[in-house]
């Protein structure tokens, strides 16, 4: 068995997650990828496009370029939005906004886009992943109950598929983890091109 982290005589790089999102941190821990966290300080209002694909792509790039890198360091940055008929739903800022989001998504299918940037000193990779999510029709009581849990306010689209919001999901087409905040399997595969591997992962 050959330790893949040393294949070709190249040392394993250090991953820096340019995000304070607890969900993205949990996903990387789930697949045993060691990382450091560096929160970025950027002005997201600088990205003015109304196109959800371009928005997450540009925000991922903006976050990724904001992190200074040393040799053998790799930064991973990402941004996620919910879009319904190309209208972008980010994190609701009020109870009224959360209500309107949930009311709009009720009984419909929407898209979740996550833009990802992986960058070293020498190269970078940028991509956008899409997942379609269909909601069951929601009653007024369900919407009001969910808003009172305070769960909607730190999540794009106002719901968390990995927590209480799971009861609203009729079906999804695409990567479940993309809705959580990171298209995990694709990210892991792309990270290998930057010499970032799962802890103790070995290959013949």
Identify whether the C-beta of residue 113 lies closer than 8 Å to the C-beta of residue 81. yes
Q: Which residues are catalytic?
A: 79
Kindly write down the DSSP assignment for every residue of the chain, as one continuous string.
-EEGGGGGGPPPPEEEE----HHHHHHHHHTT---EE------GGG-----HHHHHHHHHHHHHHTS---TTEEEEEEEEEEEETTEEE----SHHHHHHHHHHHTTSEEEEEEEEEEE-SS-EEEEEEEEEEEEPP--HHHHHHHHHTTGGGGSGGG--TTTGGGGGEEEEES-HHHHHT--HHHHHHHHHTTT---TT-EE-
Q: Which residue has the tokens 């371009």?
A: 54
Longest dimension (CA), the chain: 60
């Amino acid at each position: 068995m050959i330790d893949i982290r040393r294949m070709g005589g190249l040392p394993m790089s250090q991953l820096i997650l340019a995000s304070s999102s607890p969900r993205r941190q949990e996903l990387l821990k789930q697949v045993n990828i060691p990382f450091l966290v560096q929160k970025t300080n950027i002005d997201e209002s600088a990205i003015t496009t109304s196109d959800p694909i371009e928005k997450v792509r540009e925000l991922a790039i903006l976050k990724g370029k904001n992190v200074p890198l040393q040799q053998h360091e790799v930064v991973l940055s990402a941004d996620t939005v919910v879009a319904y008929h190309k209208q972008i739903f980010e994190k609701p800022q009020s109870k009224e906004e959360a209500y309107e989001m949930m009311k709009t998504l009720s009984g419909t299918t929407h898209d979740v886009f996550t833009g990802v940037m992986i960058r070293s000193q020498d190269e970078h990779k940028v991509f956008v992943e899409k997942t379609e999510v269909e909601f069951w029709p929601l009653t007024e009581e369900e919407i009001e109950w969910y808003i009172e849990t305070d769960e909607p306010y730190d999540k794009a689209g106002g719901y968390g598929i990995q927590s209480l919001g799971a009861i609203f999901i009729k079906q999804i087409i695409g990567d479940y983890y993309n809705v959580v905040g990171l298209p995990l399997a694709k990210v892991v595969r792309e990270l290998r091109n930057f010499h970032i591997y799962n802890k103790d992962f070995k290959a013949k």
